[in-house]
Amino acid sequence: MTQADEHTTVVIVGGGVAGLALGTFLLRSGIRCAVLEKHSREYVENRQRAGSLNGRGVRMLREWGAEEVLEGPRHNSSGGAVPLIIDGEEREWQVEDPEDTAGAFVPQQVLVRNLIRMFLRDGGDLRFEAEDVSLEGLDTEHPLVRYRDAAGTSKVIGCDFVAGSDGYQGVSRTAIPDGFLSCHTHEFGYAWLTVMTEVPADPLAVMAVHPRGFAAQITRGPNASRVYLQCPVTDTVDDWPDERVWTELGARFCTTVPRGPIVTKQVVPLRGVVFSPMSYGRLHLVGDAAHLISPMSAEGMSLALHDAEALARAIVQQVEKDDPSLLESYSDTCLTHTWERQAAAIWTTDAMHDSGDSTYRGEFLKRVARANLENLVRPREAKGSTSVA
């Protein structure tokens, strides 16, 4: 039998938002844990990812005494602070859900950087460059986690629980036996050309619906932004030279846009993915390891935080009260929430994309989508907006 070099209560595989948030919640509850991250600290602190957190996520961090990690400008995620341009005319969003009125734009690299600093300051055990991670004995009371540290030394950690928060391409989910998980997917039938630029976003976020397709520009820091352009899934980055990117963005925004250096481009098909259940033995999946949601929803980080808090509370209850009820219901709890957000994401994604370029799904569905889109914005007579053209 393999002997562990050390033992802790929870091993968290993956040091992104989900893993670091879970580690923070556990640490602040007096639960020992170790976070294993395969990349270097420099890499994860500079990895450019989505930067939106909904009001529920902001309040959650506040309740855990971790609001300090939220640097960067705040935004009202559905109250009109994110401009929407429809065929060159600026429209104002409806405000219906009070839970969505206190969101924040926090580029993921900023949130991760702040979570790392706070976790380490609180005495957290965070191990970078932990490679070749493998999980054993997940169906036993004391699983083992093997990895190779930055010096190349093989290590084995014994634990009571494993949290798989290493993303869609991570090793945690692959440790679950074949046939145990169900995978449910939805393909939207179009992609985003995502373009990282060295051009600041002003305003911090703007979206457009246009007969040429959906477009958006979202801040990624004071001197960077990411541009999104709806395109066919068959497109490649070679189809999109820099000049075409800026020309198309201006055409869909119906205005002249500032130009600047383009750092990276990628074509990303829009899809939703859900794996179920989210638990196998002592392994519990968290965040993107269990589900992907349309980026149009801007819910990825918020879903990860929801999972992290649910798992933290479940583990705390098990450790402190010997009560497994929350752990036993963890998967169902998170999947219920995930499917609710997937439903909303599909509705919003279809409304924002089908209402523009009819070549994807036809004129009939374009008109249906336009009707749905009108339910998201204020009537023209109440908006008091002006054309941006």
What pLDDT does residue 322 have? 97
Q: Is residue 369 part of a domain?
A: no
The helix-helix angle for 330-354 and 300-321 (nearest 10°) equals 170
The sign of the CA dihedral 87, 92, 97, 101 is positive
Identity of residue 325: S
Question: Residue 8: CB partners within 8 Å, gap ≥ 6?
Answer: 32, 33, 34, 125, 157, 158, 159
Q: Is residue 52 part of a domain?
A: yes
Q: Is residue 15 part of a domain?
A: yes
What pLDDT does residue 205 have? 86
For residue 148, give the CATH number of its domain: 3.50.50.60
Digit-by-digit pLDDT tens for the chain (389 residues) are: 578 899 999 999 999 999 999 999 999 999 999 999 999 999 999 887 766 888 889 899 999 999 889 875 444 444 445 789 999 999 887 765 554 546 777 778 889 999 999 999 999 999 999 999 999 999 999 999 999 999 999 999 999 999 999 999 999 999 999 999 999 999 999 999 999 999 998 888 899 999 999 999 988 878 889 999 999 999 999 999 999 999 999 999 999 999 999 999 999 999 999 999 999 999 999 999 999 999 998 899 999 999 999 999 999 999 999 999 999 999 999 999 999 999 999 999 999 999 999 999 999 999 999 999 998 888 776 444 444 44
Total structural domains within the chain:
1
Going by C-alpha positions, the residue among 96, 78, 66 that lies closest to residue 305 is 66
Q: Is residue 95 part of a domain?
A: no
189 torsion bin: left (phi>0), alpha (psi -120 to 50), beta (else): left
Q: Is residue 289 part of a domain?
A: yes
Q: Are 251 and 283 in contact (CB under 8 A)?
A: no
Q: Is residue 259 part of a domain?
A: no
36 torsion bin: left (phi>0), alpha (psi -120 to 50), beta (else): beta
Q: Is residue 89 part of a domain?
A: no
The answer, as to whether pTM is greater than 0.85, is: yes
State the Cα–Cα distance between residues 288 and 28, nearest whole angstrom.
Answer: 24
Q: Are 125 and 33 in contact (CB under 8 A)?
A: yes
> How many CB atoms sit inside 10 A of residue 24's CB?
25
HEC profile for the chain?
A: CCCCCEECCEEEECCCHHHHHHHHHHHCCCCCEEEECCCCHHHHHCCCCCCEECHHHHHHHHHCCCHHHCCCCECCCCCCCCCEEECCEEECECCCCHHHCCCEECCHHHHHHHHHHHHHHCCCEEECCCEEEEEECCCCCCCEEEEECCCCCEEEEECCEEEECCCCCCCCHHHCCCCCCEEEEEEEEEEEEEEEECCCCCCCEEEEECCCCCEEEEECCCCCEEEEEEECCCCCHHHCCHHHHHHHHHHHHCCCCCCCCEEEEEEEEEEEEEEECCEECCEEECHHHCEECCHHHCCHHHHHHHHHHHHHHHHHHHHHHCCCHHHHCHHHHHHHHHHHHHHHHHHHHHHHHHCCCCCCCHHHHHHHHHHHHHCCECCHHHHCCCECC
Q: Which domain holds residue 150?
A: 6-74+105-183+272-346
Query: CA-based Rg of the chain, rounded to a whole angstrom?
Result: 22
Q: Is residue 80 part of a domain?
A: no
State the Cα–Cα distance between residues 22 and 61, nearest whole angstrom.
Answer: 11
State the Cα–Cα distance between residues 173 and 165, nearest whole angstrom.
Answer: 9
Q: In the numeric block, which tokens belong to residue 351?
A: 């409304």
187-208 in b/e form (b: 16+ CB < 10 A) is ebebbbbbbbbebbbeebbbbb
